[in-house]
Amino acid sequence: MAEQILLQGKILGTEEFLLAASIEGRSNRSAGEDVLAGRSQWISLLCEVLPRALLSELRLPRILLGSSGRGQFLIVLPGEAIGAAEAFLQAARTQIRDLSGGHVSLIWSVTDNLGDWAVIRKRLNDGFERQRSTPLAGANGHSFHPFERALNPEADAYFARELGARVREASRVGWSPESPGKVSAGDGKYTWNLSSNLSPDSIMLARHAAPSDDGKTAAPVQTLARRAQGRSIWGVLRGDVDNFALRLRRVHNIEEHVPLSVLYKQFFAGELEVLCSLPEFWRKVSIIYSGGDDFAVYGSWDALIALAREVQRLFQRFTEENLKEYPGAEGKTISMAIALAPETYYPLASVYQEAGRNLDLAKAADRDCIFLLGRILEWRHLNDAAELKDTVTRLVHDFRMSRQFLYQLRNLYRHEAPGEEGNEVQRTWRFQRRFNRILSGTRDREFQKLRAHLVNELVGRKSSEVKLRPAGLVALEWARLITEG
């Protein structure tokens, strides 16, 4: 029996590479969006195309591809094919480095497929650490090039024009040995179908883009902002599965590792594409990428909140149905974050970066949370905020309350009188007096019911809890954006 070798590849530096697109965005907003879209598609496709092209070049069957996507891939090779495989990957690594201006690097690790899976995984990880620790070992004569990360205008033309919109419209992508680090839309020595569904002969890729007003191109961010309800703002939504790496480390063999990886990738690529195609989302959001355990979307602020709630609901159902046999909470919850652009004409990559920072804050606070409108909420509290938002907007629209009362409500708890921190009775009385002043006037029964509900939800049903809850603050900010034209 021929020796079986496991080869695992990883692509590093993708976050830094995507954020570098903000430099173009400062001078040309539309070009910055196209560059970011093309770069994200390139990164997503590399981990799908490279292992398939490698197997095709070595004339090996497709079944040897274990998993791909999420910035890495895993394939099984016969022992005699390792030399040719490493030469293939070395050529791809060189062009990947050149196209990305040194931001992105391809590394790989090889080990024999023998022993317990935990031991195999450790050997693969040791191989990655050796490559990270000795970056010049595979430089192939390029070790004396300056370590500068200059943006390549020709490369960005490739990302914006040859990928970008072309990949969103293409039915196939291709690869050719003359350009081992490139992915082309529609042609190449080897080609593969693009699909949002799992298929043996297709590459899964979520690529929905909200159409422009004329339907010929993807809508720019200023158009997406205009399509928002209330205030014209756009933003970025990012999500990431909690403790996904720990979930993968706890599998017992490669037969569990591969299906589990594919399962998550199929969820994000498939469900995200379907959701973004629904009537309430298709003209308001565009996908930046979907990975094996994360995703990013930009669009109208109100659609991003609704999309986040729907993705979380579907993910909860997905884990309940598919991971019930796996003990522990690892990989069964998802955290998200939304960042809103401070102005309409603002670089997409900068807002994407801010959403990443917000996501880090949410994951550091706890699992199964969302960073929204300056606050971190558990998902169950986001539903309370949505209900409270509806109450506030009804007071504004149905009872013609001035929008100024939203600011007054926010200011209720910003300052406490000195020396009253421990005086709960006096603090409660002062709050009730100020609240009555804000919401005074009509004695309409429906108005009084909404008023009572609002005060209970803002400060809690216990009279001593005179502190605006995070869900209440989110609800007030949410209502303010809706009611501002």
pLDDT digits (tens, 9 = 90+) for 322-351: 998 888 889 999 999 999 999 988 989 899
The pTM of this model reads 0.84
Catalogue the long-range contacts made by 406-412 (C-beta closer than 8 Å, 24 or more residues apart).
406/476, 406/479, 406/480, 406/483, 407/480, 408/438, 409/438, 409/458, 409/476, 410/468, 410/473, 410/476, 410/477, 412/468
4-135+152-167 and 206-372 share one fold? yes
Structure tokens at 478: 């949410």
Domain 206-372 carries which CATH code? 3.30.70.270
Buried b (16+ CB within 10 A) or exposed e, 101-127: bbbbbbbbbbbeeeeebeebbeebeeb
CA distance 168 to 161: 11
CA distance 282 to 287: 10
> Residue 206 in contact with residue 226, Cβ under 8 Å?
no
At residue 160, the 3 state secondary structure works out as: helix
> Residue 337 in contact with residue 358, Cβ under 8 Å?
yes
For 467, counting Cβ atoms within 10 Å of its Cβ (0-12 exposed, 13-18 middle, 19+ buried), the class is middle
CA distance 474 to 459: 13
Per-residue model confidence as pLDDT tens for the chain (485 residues): 467 889 999 999 888 888 876 544 444 445 567 788 888 889 989 999 999 999 999 999 988 988 888 788 999 999 899 999 999 999 999 999 998 888 899 999 999 888 888 888 889 889 888 888 766 555 554 444 444 455 566 777 888 878 877 888 888 899 999 999 999 888 889 999 888 776 667 888 888 999 998 888 889 999 999 999 989 999 999 999 999 988 888 888 888 888 888 889 889 988 999 999 999 999 999 999 888 889 999 999 999 999 999 999 999 999 999 998 888 889 999 999 999 999 988 989 899 999 999 999 999 998 999 999 988 999 988 988 888 887 777 776 655 555 565 666 666 545 444 444 444 434 444 545 555 555 555 555 666 666 666 666 555 555 444 445 667 778 888 888 888 76
- Name the one residue in this structure whose structure tokens are 């496709």: 45
H-type helices in 58-195, by residue range?
82-99, 117-133, 153-157, 165-169
> Residue 184 in contact with residue 49, Cβ under 8 Å?
no
> DSSP state, 220?
P
CB proximity list for 318: less than 8 A, separation 6 or greater: 267, 271
User: Looking at domain 4-135+152-167, does it have CATH number 1.10.3470?
Assistant: no
Q: What are the domain boundaries of the chain?
A: 4-135+152-167, 206-372, 390-483
CA distance 160 to 81: 36
